[in-house]
Amino acid sequence: MDIKHIGPANPGWDFIGEVSGIDLTQPISPAEVDAIEAGMDRYGVLVFHNQHITDEQQVAFSVNFGDLEATLANVTKPEDRRLKLNIADISNLDKNNQVLAADDKRRMFNLGNMLWHSDSSFKATPAKYSLLSGRAVPKAGGDTQFADMRAAYDAFPADIQTLIEPLITEHSLIYSRGQLGFEAFDAEERRAFAPVLQRLVRTHPVTGRKSVFLSSHIGVIRGMLTPEARMRIRDLTEMATQPRFVHTHRWQAGDLVIWDNRTTMHRARRYNDTGEVRDMRRTTIEGAPTVMQQAA
């Protein structure tokens, strides 16, 4: 197995690594698990090509890195789920593999994936890794973009770093979807998506590097007036997602991409989602309790 730097061009800064010489349809060795973890700590995003895996194989590979998140946060009712295992369905398909109608509530909700975010930042224990497998990809569009929140933090002016260091934010799916005018949450969803607290600056447990924990799920900064807080989050997000911090992944069927939600943000890009099929499946590794949870 080998991991090589594929981005960005700027030397001295590792963000995207490409892994070769491994077959994810087969069990992998403890040494390979360690090497992938080390690669994740170094890069933040790892890309694997030609991995035509089943759902079972995706789960078996994923649990090498921790426990799968137990609850799937979306507006699809259990009886409407397309996938059997504990896998997030990031497709535009219903349980009969038909493309969702333009006005389907699930499609409206999924459009929120096009906002910059970190997976499950709206959970008290947010995600460690996400593993996204491209099973069917559209002819045009549907890229995924990644932004490096370590590099962004390092590039913030010192006064901004000082200002954000103590800040505590509230994250909820209701805030991110609210930015798109999506408010069709029922009472149960509103309960499930109640805001959680997160530090705006976090420290990686292995590398000790700081990063800015941004996400479109943020709607409140504690102790700050809401318009001021949201404007601040917009400014920080704009700074942190400048092209120099962003890598675009152009999907081929069989790609598997792993990202560290503790150090990166990502977003989906547009495609003809009422005409073409895009079948992506995500396993999500639960993180460790955050500083906020430890304090609670």
Query: What's the first-to-final CA gap in the chain, in angstroms?
Result: 42
Q: Quick one: which of 57, 86, 113, 272 contacts ligand OGA (CB under 6 A)?
A: 113
Q: Quick one: which of 119, 255, 260, 286 contacts Mn ion (CB under 5 A)?
A: 119
Q: CB 226 → ligand OGA: shortest distance, Å?
A: 25
Number of residues that bind ligand OGA (CB under 6 A): 10
Q: Does 266 bind ligand OGA (CB under 6 A)?
A: yes
Of the candidates 127, 104, 166, 121, the one whose C-alpha atom is nearest the C-alpha of residue 258 is 127
Q: CB 130 → Mn ion: shortest distance, Å?
A: 6
Residue 144 near which of ligand OGA, Mn ion, none (CB within 5-8 Å, type-dependent)? ligand OGA
Tokens 């447990």, located at residue: 205
**Dist CA 188 CA 48 (whole Å):** 38
Q: Quick one: which of 45, 221, 233, 268 contacts ligand OGA (CB under 6 A)?
A: 268
Of the candidates 179, 213, 186, 183, the one whose C-alpha atom is nearest the C-alpha of residue 199 is 213
Q: Does 279 bind ligand OGA (CB under 6 A)?
A: no
Residue 132 near which of Mn ion, ligand OGA, none (CB within 5-8 Å, type-dependent)? ligand OGA
Q: Quick one: which of 280, 285, 286, 287 contacts ligand OGA (CB under 6 A)?
A: 280
Q: Does 132 bind ligand OGA (CB under 6 A)?
A: yes
222-232 exposure pattern, b = at least 16 Cβ within 10 A, e = fewer: eebeeeebbeb
